[in-house]
Copies of this chain bind each other. A is one copy, B any other.
Amino acid sequence: MMNKRGQVIVISGPSGVGKGTILKGAMEADKTLAFSVSATTRGPRPGELDGKDYFFVSRERFEEMIAQGELLEHAEYGGNLYGTPRAALEQRLDEGVDVVLDIEIQGARQVMKSFPEALFIFILPPDFETLKKRLTGRGTETPEKVALRLETAKRELGCFNEFEYIIVNDRIEDAVDDFLAIVRAGHCRCSEYIKTDND
């Protein structure tokens, strides 16, 4: 059987839903999964390596990347630009690595346009009360901040049906197995197969 090319996996969902835990479990089980490396205009923090943690670029260069269509998606947070460079990602795909983009909904929507063959996964809580408990239980934020997070979460939950796949994060082991199954099935998609066959 021929070597399979990697695929892009977009994972999204409200804060507190457990995306990080699912990805940690999935990556431990499947060593061909890796995070995408983002480009950013913010400066490196101590210990961060260019090309590993981020691609550190100037704002001028970043804007050029946007203009040239070099980014799958981008967004601005806290005065800094962040985005997913296509070239580095394509290289990982060619190496057979499945690349995970853990991004919010606006970013996911951009990838739906720029890279529609990606797998789009939305993580849901078993119910809103559970999410509320998880967000409140962190205890590290003011009630105002928690309220804002809940409001955002509620709005984001309404977008689940824009995604191809849904994982309900009830039992974490099940959610990890769901994730791994979606990735494995993704490689069996006929479109994947035809692409690989022509390589």
Contacts and interface: CB of A to CB of B under 8 A. Distances in A.
Contacts of A48: none
A181 B185 contact: yes
A67 interface: no
A168 B1 contact: yes
Please state the number of chain copies in the assembly. Answer: 2
Contact of A188 (B126, B167, B189): B167
A177 interface: yes
Contacts of A165: 185, 188-190
Contacts of A194: 161
Given A170-B1, A182-B185, A190 B177 contact: no
B193 A166 contact: yes
Interface string A1-31: 1000000000000000000000000000000
B181 A126 contact: no
Interface in A143-189: 160-161, 163-168, 170, 177-178, 180-182, 184-186, 188-189
A184 B186 CA distance: 12
Given A1-B126, A180-B181, A181-B181, A188 B170 contact: no
A185 B163 CA distance: 13
Given A181-B181, A181-B184, A189 B164 contact: yes
Interface string A86-123: 00000000000000000000000000000000000110
Closest 8 CB pairs of A and B: A181-B184, A185-B185, A181-B181, A182-B185, A166-B193, A165-B188, A181-B185, A1-B170
Interface of A: 1, 121-122, 126, 160-161, 163-168, 170, 177-178, 180-182, 184-186, 188-190, 193-194
